[in-house]
């Protein structure tokens, strides 16, 4: 007789599957930091020696800095706007009984399944028809479009786990809808808001296809990196940059997941 329940008993094949799966996911990614310290221009084995030269080169690469700043701007703007839209949207579909709510939510979620290249081309045609010059603004617009579904999904979960009587209590205690939103609703969904901001920022920061179509003369970082791939001598410093982005992305995703889980009202048992 085992002292562990059937479900919790160790399952060796499953254990190996998990290991294999993790290796499959992360070993290719780990080549990035590995070669970023390799003392050779060509990305190939055997490893030649250790160097931080590529990181130094990265630090002095002005066009790369410009692209990084562009990406940060686009990421900040599109995550902020997408999250704001997400807050209002999620609040509307979870609180009010709206006619045709389900189709509306489906339409909002649609960009999740439309290929980026289609959206990119469509937006490009639309914008050029109405005579808008391509710039970081148009990239931001495209990124908002693909970020809103993620923001909505994140925030809807948060709004659904939210006790309606909290807002009623606030109204009962003298606050109108705006004060209630500011003093009760927003603080209670704050972890979801932050998670949405981080998630949208990561999506925008990584996004290539939309940016490729919609960026004018100012490239975002992924576009810049793609351009650098044509010059073999510049590749190692791109790898150095990639390694840095990888670390930052991991941290951001980890923090957002952690915030999602922390003080979730459902998990805390507010009822008792």
Partner 1 sequence: MNGNDAYIRIEKVSKHFGDVAAVDNVEFNISGGEFFSLLGASGCGKTTLLRMLAGFETPTMGEIYIDGAAITGVPPHQRPTNMVFQNYAIFPHLDVRRNTAYGLRTEKLDKAESNRRVDEALEMVKLQGFGDRKSTELSGGQRQRVALARALIRRPKVLLLDEPLGALDKKLREEMQLELRALQQSLGITFIFVTHDQEEAMTLSDRVAVMSGGKVLQIAAPKEIYNRPVSVEVADFIGQMNFVDASVTDLADGQALIDTAGLGQIKARATEFAHKGANIVVAVRPEKLTLSKDRPAGEGNAVQGVISTAAYLGDRSHFYVTVAGTDKPIAVAAQESDMSDGQSLGADSAVWLSWSDEAVVLLNRA
Residues of the shown chain interacting with partner 1 in the complex, contacts defined by CB under 8 A: 163, 165-166, 168-176, 179, 183-184, 187-188, 190, 263, 265, 268, 270-272
> How many angstroms separate the CA atoms of 124 and 215, rounded?
10
* Nearer to partner 1 (CB atom), residue 227 or residue 265: 265
**Residue 84 three-state SS:** helix
Closest separation in Å from C-beta 263 to partner 1: 8
* Nearer to partner 1 (CB atom), residue 45 or residue 179: 179
Q: Which residues lie closer than 8 Å to 118 by C-beta, 6 or more apart?
A: none
Of 43, 31, 56, the closest CA to residue 231 belongs to 43
Closest separation in Å from C-beta 191 to partner 1: 10
Closest separation in Å from C-beta 260 to partner 1: 16
Token pair recorded at residue 14? 């499953």
* Nearer to partner 1 (CB atom), residue 44 or residue 266: 266
* Nearer to partner 1 (CB atom), residue 106 or residue 176: 176
Closest separation in Å from C-beta 159 to partner 1: 15
Closest separation in Å from C-beta 97 to partner 1: 12
> How many angstroms separate the CA atoms of 224 and 72, rounded?
13
* Nearer to partner 1 (CB atom), residue 2 or residue 165: 165
Q: Which residues lie closer than 8 Å to 256 by C-beta, 6 or more apart?
A: 194, 195, 198, 199, 202
Q: Kindly report the backbone phi and psi dihedral angles of residue 52, in degrees, each rounded to the nearest multiple of 5, phi listed first.
A: -110, 15
* Nearer to partner 1 (CB atom), residue 187 or residue 216: 187
Q: 3-state secondary structure string, 225-269?
A: HHHHCCCHHHHHHHHHHHHHHHHHHHHHHHHHHHHHHCCCHHHHC
Closest separation in Å from C-beta 157 to partner 1: 17
Query: Given the structure tokens 């839209």, which residue do they identify?
Result: 85
**Residue 20 three-state SS:** helix
> How many angstroms separate the CA atoms of 252 and 64, rounded?
22
Q: How big is the CA angle at 84 (ends 79 and 90), to the nearest 5 degrees?
A: 115
* Nearer to partner 1 (CB atom), residue 251 or residue 267: 267
Closest separation in Å from C-beta 87 to partner 1: 16
What ranges in 161-234 are assigned the alpha helix state H?
Answer: 164-172, 177-180, 186-206, 209-214, 221-228
* Nearer to partner 1 (CB atom), residue 160 or residue 172: 172
Closest separation in Å from C-beta 168 to partner 1: 6
């Amino acid at each position: 007789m085992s002292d562990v329940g059937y479900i919790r008993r160790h399952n060796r094949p499953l254990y190996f599957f998990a290991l294999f799966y993790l290796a499959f996911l992360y070993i290719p990614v780990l080549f990035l930091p590995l070669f970023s310290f390799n003392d050779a221009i060509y990305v190939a084995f055997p490893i030649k020696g250790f160097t931080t030269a590529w990181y130094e080169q990265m630090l002095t690469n002005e066009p790369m800095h410009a692209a990084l700043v562009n990406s940060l701007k686009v990421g900040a703007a599109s995550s902020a706007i997408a999250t704001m839209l997400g807050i209002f949207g999620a609040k509307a579909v979870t609180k009010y009984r709206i006619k045709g709510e389900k189709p509306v939510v489906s339409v909002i979620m649609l960009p999740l399944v439309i290929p980026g290249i289609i959206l990119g081309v469509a937006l490009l045609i639309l914008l050029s028809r109405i005579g808008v010059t391509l710039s970081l603004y148009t990239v931001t617009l495209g990124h908002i479009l693909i970020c809103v579904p993620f923001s909505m999904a994140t925030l809807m979960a948060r709004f659904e786990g939210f006790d309606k009587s909290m807002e009623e209590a606030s109204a009962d205690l003298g606050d109108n809808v705006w004060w209630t939103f500011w003093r009760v609703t927003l603080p209670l969904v704050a972890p979801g808001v932050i998670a949405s901001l981080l998630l949208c920022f990561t999506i925008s920061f990584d996004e290539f296809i939309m940016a490729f179509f919609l960026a004018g003369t100012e490239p975002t970082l992924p576009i810049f990196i793609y351009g650098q791939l044509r010059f073999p001598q510049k590749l190692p410093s791109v790898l150095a940059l990639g390694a840095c982005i990888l670390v930052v992305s991991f941290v951001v995703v980890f923090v957002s997941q952690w915030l999602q889980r922390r003080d979730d009202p459902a998990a805390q048992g507010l009822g008792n």
